[in-house]
Amino acid sequence: MKLSHLALRGVAALPDLERDFISASTGRPHDLIVIAGPAASGKTRLCDLMLAVFETIGSYHGIVHASDWYADAARGARAELGLWLDEGGNGVGAAPTSRAVVDFTARGVHSMVDRAAGRVLSRYDHDPAHGKREYFPENRQRAWGARSDGLGAPEQSLLRSSKDPQKYSFVPRFLAELRTHAAHRDAFASKLELLSPTVRYTPAARGGDPTACFTNKTRASVLYEELSSSEADAVLIAATATMIGLNHSIVFLDRPELYVAPDRLVAWMQSLLRLGANNQWIVATSDEGLASAVDRSAVVNLGRNDPMPAAAPRASWMPS
């Protein structure tokens, strides 16, 4: 599942725009789309809009309010997505490509999408053969308090597009489950190693705290709550990807530069592309180095009139 086209008209706090995200070299959508721009330019807003469109045409039980999106109630707003649905495990008779249109009006939210495509988009389970959508918002963090969400698909489906600060309260329970789930244990360890140069998963001692399962530069048997912010960010991304079976999916990530040094950001994004099979990452960032490291057709540039600089030589790291 990948996004191939985006068109907006009349959306509050966003410019009218139209972009194709097809690679000239492969004829397929890019695996990485960068939403670039300075602070307060609408990057997060654009991610939220696309997620609202997905929730309208293939709901995971979220609620979309039209008034959140139109600039003028009399004229309304429209968002159009082009979609590639040709991942393995489609299984519901949907065509390989599809077009979805959502109108936000004073009378409500109205959508036009092929029914089979809608079934693909609304299906949520943790089968790694099935595509889904995921959002790592800017406020992602270790959860606080006593809340501990379950690991099952019905409960987790409610959180996929969420910015709930408790979204990652499942992580301690997930770490405890790793003691008896060998496949998840191995997958999580390898994904964490991709994302962090300083922390590794090492199974907790039998009978001890199951979250004391990390080794970093400080010592062994480090508790999850004792990890640095960048290490914890890697843990929650790796845990999510492992738990939900993140393959053939569209993944939104806001502000990767919060926890990754500028000189590591491009390489870190390359690691994200290896986190699962056939995923597409849509990344909102103010880091111009990342924006310049991808093909121009994979960049949506907000908040500036001049074009992004030509792709730097390091662009060759990015698969089309």
Query: 83-98: per-residue pLDDT in tens?
Result: 998 754 455 567 889 9
Q: Kindly state whether residue 29 falls inside one of the protein's structural domains.
A: yes
Q: Kindly state whether residue 232 falls inside one of the protein's structural domains.
A: no
Q: How many CB atoms lie within 10 A of CB 200?
A: 16
Instruction: Tell me the C-alpha distance between 124 and 13, whole Å.
Output: 31
Q: Kindly state whether residue 8 falls inside one of the protein's structural domains.
A: yes
Q: Kindly state whether residue 222 falls inside one of the protein's structural domains.
A: no
Decide which of 148 and 35 is more confident: 35
Tokens of 32: 């990485």
Determine the distance from the C-alpha atom of residue 312 to the mean position of all C-alpha atoms in its chain, rounded to a whole number.
25
Instruction: Work out how many domains the chain is built from and give that number.
Output: 1
Q: Kindly state whether residue 215 falls inside one of the protein's structural domains.
A: no
Domain of 260?
2-132+246-313
Q: Kindly state whether residue 142 falls inside one of the protein's structural domains.
A: no
Q: List, for residues 287-309, the tens digit of each pLDDT value.
A: 999 999 999 999 999 976 444 44
Q: Which of 182, 157, 183 is nearest to 170 (CA)?
A: 157
Q: What is the reported pLDDT for 92?
A: 59
Its pTM stands at 0.93
- Identify the band that residue 107 occupies on the pLDDT scale cut at 50, 70 and 90: very high
Q: What is the reported pLDDT for 303?
A: 79
Q: Kindly state whether residue 69 falls inside one of the protein's structural domains.
A: yes
CATH number at residue 48: 3.40.50.300
Residue type for position 172: P
Q: What is the reported pLDDT for 311?
A: 39
Torsion angle of alpha carbons 37, 41, 43, 49, nearest 10°? -150
Q: Kindly state whether residue 96 falls inside one of the protein's structural domains.
A: yes
- The percentage of the chain sitting over the pLDDT mark of 70, rounded to a whole number, equals 92
